A and B are shown apart, each in its own frame.
Chain A
Amino acid sequence: MTGATAYTGSTDRSRAPQAPVLEVDELTVRFARRGEVGTQAVDGVSFSVAPGETVGLVGESGCGKSVTSLAVMGLLPQRGVQVGGSVRLDGQELLGAGDRALRKLRGADMAMVFQDPLSSLNPTVTIGTQVTEVLKEHRRLTGSKATDEAADLLDRVGIPDPRRRLSEYPHQLSGGMRQRALIAMALACSPRLLIADEPTTALDVTIQAQILEVLRELVQGSGTALVMITHDLGVVAGLCDRVHVMYSGKIIETAERRDLFARPRHPYTGGLLASVPRLDTPRGTPLTPIRGSMRDAIPWAEGCAFAPRCDSGRDDCLTEVAGSTVPLESDGSGRELRCRHPLAGPPVAGSPTTSGADR
């Protein structure tokens, strides 16, 4: 259980009073084409990440987690998108910053690893060219120096025989190696902030574990702030210090990893945990899915967006809050919750308990 002690270490560090690397304050993203009713993809999301801390954004497809990350990086298209609120990297405001300023920051101070390692690499260019490109752009390395550094980077993320890999094309690498190469590119300038957008979704389970290990070592070694975007609770359990659960564009629950797994408060979080298969239940025990799908969400202004799918939902989830959204309120030490009728005790039988967090 070396992992467990490591988590404690990083959790302790995150509690130390350090200026956060990334502060996201009341971020809103609205997709609206002219003459159409817009979609509120992200609705007042606030969180911060300290150096060396790993923060997870969790939620199912369409809850706004990827859009949040793209907004932080300034990668959303400029047309038809309205971004509001504030995003600060080391105190510097990113929203509204010029293209040139953002380009200098991207790759150097903040970097991102995407979901699909094959389509995120240019198929017509060698790995070496793509890795050295970043080094040339931000570190002004050229020629053999850049090549040496690129090989060193590939070596650091655990790619064997890096010299040979540099002259190969993306399709010649395995999925895990491609994702490592992408991580190497993201790490080329030791960024202060790394956003990983479902970095393991396209990979099989063994490779997932290796990639997570690479990311964990990175965070612990260099004090990089890591934002982990995922729908995989296993990844959360293995890597994150703090977790923000998102639903329909809003954060609905925030907690330390252990607290979240031990005592989920929001019915949605409870539902997510209940739908994870477990080894210690008897064979044939059915999983407990969450009813309905993301499409059943109602606008936050009409009540709790999760209410139509919620098992503990009552009438006042919809009526009492009409006109104002359910607020995100403090819920004990280090926890925040957006719910009228939270789950009280330990999670229902047959659903995960604390052991998930100690994996």
Chain B
Amino acid sequence: MTASLGNRRDKIDALAARAGQLPADGGGVSLVRSAFRRLRRDPVAIIGAVIVVTFLLVALFAPLLAPRDPLEQALLSQVRQGSIPGSQDGFPLGVDQLGRDVLSRLIYGSRQSLLIGVVSTVLGAVAGMALGVLAGAFGGWVDTVVMRFVDILLSIPGLLMAISISVLLGQNQYALMIAIAVTQVPVFARLLRGSMLAQRDSDYAVAAKALGVKRSKIVLGHVLPNSLSPVIVQATLSLATAIIEAAALSFLGLGDPDISRPEWGAMLSSAQSVLSFAPQLAIYPALCIIVVALGFTLLGESLREALDPKFRR
């Protein structure tokens, strides 16, 4: 009897000690932190994160990781009409039709692909969120005007729009980023507006109003932070689309004209002419694009679940 009592007391003490530790790790457990904690337990999220982080590291340390200079035409002498040397010593993935090391080009290419993906998504998200806040905060005719504008953007197919814009802005990597960013704007604008409308009449917004808080402060300080989680999720998913779209534009010859920067889409495009006898030149960059896009999508999906209020404890 006493033993079981002592046992139970120990358990309670342990529980209490653990409860005492919880707030110690930095005062408050914020939404972001609790979402992060859930993410760490989700195998899908871990796979996505591992893929994304791996590619980020590769891009960051490309000069250290690449075995050769991606522009050096080392094996040009061995390239014949109708045959391109495959994997061999020093060239684990073989060379392309100009005798350049494919692995090194893939490694350097990750820089360009990720850069375009991240920059264009950030640009698109910022512009889209600005429109969304405008529409969601003011409502009325501002909402109508902004949303009809967004609808127009949305009604044009993304790739077609990106092509028109990059043609319009001239052929350089900034035009490419802007073109892809514009295609992302409507999604972010609609998403943020929708979730702000849902939050605008929430109890805490009314409570803040009842305390005499300014409308601008209610919108930016209360409604906006609560409307952001779908936007964060969309951003990770958009990254994947942006990378694919960048590759597509490069493939169509609308990419970065600077040949000193290898890029996956451009590699795909140039592999076209030798596809019949050297399909590996198309397969490797395509695999890279697929895996990175998959990584961001997995991460985004599990982030959506982690931030979903239905799963929040």
A232 in the interface, Cβ–Cβ < 8 Å?
A: no
CA of A77 to CA of B260, assembled, Å: 60
Contact B222 A106 (CB under 8 A): no
A274 in the interface, Cβ–Cβ < 8 Å?
A: no
Given contacts A168-B23, A168-B27, A169-B29, contact A123 B213 (CB under 8 A): no
List the A side residues contacting B29 at CB < 8 Å. 169, 172
Contact A120 B212 (CB under 8 A): no
The smallest C-beta distance from B170 to any residue of chain A, in angstroms, reads 42
List the A side residues contacting B225 at CB < 8 Å. 122, 124-125
Contact B28 A172 (CB under 8 A): yes
Closest A residue to B203 using CB positions = A119
List the A side residues contacting B214 at CB < 8 Å. 103, 137
A104 in the interface, Cβ–Cβ < 8 Å?
A: yes
Q: Which of A109-117, A240-248, A342-350 sits within the interface?
A: A109-117
Contact B212 A105 (CB under 8 A): yes
Contact A122 B226 (CB under 8 A): yes
A357 in the interface, Cβ–Cβ < 8 Å?
A: no
Pick from A103, A121, A138: contact of B207, CB under 8 Å: A121
B208 in the interface, Cβ–Cβ < 8 Å?
A: yes
Contact A124 B31 (CB under 8 A): yes
Pick from A104, A116, A122, A167: contact of B212, CB under 8 Å: A104
CA of A106 to CA of B225, assembled, Å: 23
CA of A254 to CA of B282, assembled, Å: 85
List the B side residues contacting A186 at CB < 8 Å. 211
Contact B28 A126 (CB under 8 A): yes
A164 in the interface, Cβ–Cβ < 8 Å?
A: yes
- Interface size of A in residues (CB-CB distance below 8 Å): 35
Closest B residue to A103 using CB positions = B212
Given contacts A124-B31, A168-B23, contact A108 B206 (CB under 8 A): no
B88 in the interface, Cβ–Cβ < 8 Å?
A: no
CA of A229 to CA of B207, assembled, Å: 16
CA of A279 to CA of B10, assembled, Å: 41
List the A side residues contacting B23 at CB < 8 Å. 164, 168, 172
B203-240 Cβ-contact flags toward A at 8 Å (1 or 0)? 11011111111100100011001100000000000000
List the A side residues contacting B210 at CB < 8 Å. 73, 75, 106-107, 111-112, 114
A182 in the interface, Cβ–Cβ < 8 Å?
A: yes
List the A side residues contacting B155 at CB < 8 Å. none
Contact A120 B30 (CB under 8 A): no
A134 in the interface, Cβ–Cβ < 8 Å?
A: yes
Closest B residue to A100 using CB positions = B214
CA of A137 to CA of B221, assembled, Å: 13
Q: Which residues of A from 165 to 203 have beta carbons under 8 Å from B? A: 167-169, 172, 182, 185-186, 188
Contact B204 A119 (CB under 8 A): yes
A60 in the interface, Cβ–Cβ < 8 Å?
A: no
Contact A123 B203 (CB under 8 A): no
The smallest C-beta distance from B94 to any residue of chain A, in angstroms, reads 52
A133 in the interface, Cβ–Cβ < 8 Å?
A: yes
The smallest C-beta distance from B22 to any residue of chain A, in angstroms, reads 9
The smallest C-beta distance from A113 to any residue of chain B, in angstroms, reads 9
List the A side residues contacting B164 at CB < 8 Å. none
Given contacts A114-B206, A182-B207, contact A138 B212 (CB under 8 A): yes
List the A side residues contacting B212 at CB < 8 Å. 103-108, 134, 137-138
List the B side residues contacting A114 at CB < 8 Å. 203, 206-207, 210
Contact B202 A107 (CB under 8 A): no
CA of A129 to CA of B225, assembled, Å: 13
Q: List 23 A-B contacts (CB under 8 A).
A: A75-B209, A75-B210, A103-B214, A106-B209, A106-B210, A111-B211, A114-B203, A122-B221, A123-B31, A124-B30, A124-B226, A130-B208, A134-B212, A137-B211, A137-B214, A138-B212, A164-B23, A167-B28, A168-B27, A168-B28, A172-B28, A172-B29, A186-B211
- B residues adjacent to A (C-beta < 8 A): 23, 27-31, 202-204, 206-214, 217, 221-222, 225-226
| Chain A to chain B: the 8 pairs with minimum beta-carbon distance, closest first | A107-B212, A106-B212, A107-B211, A119-B203, A167-B27, A120-B207, A124-B225, A112-B210
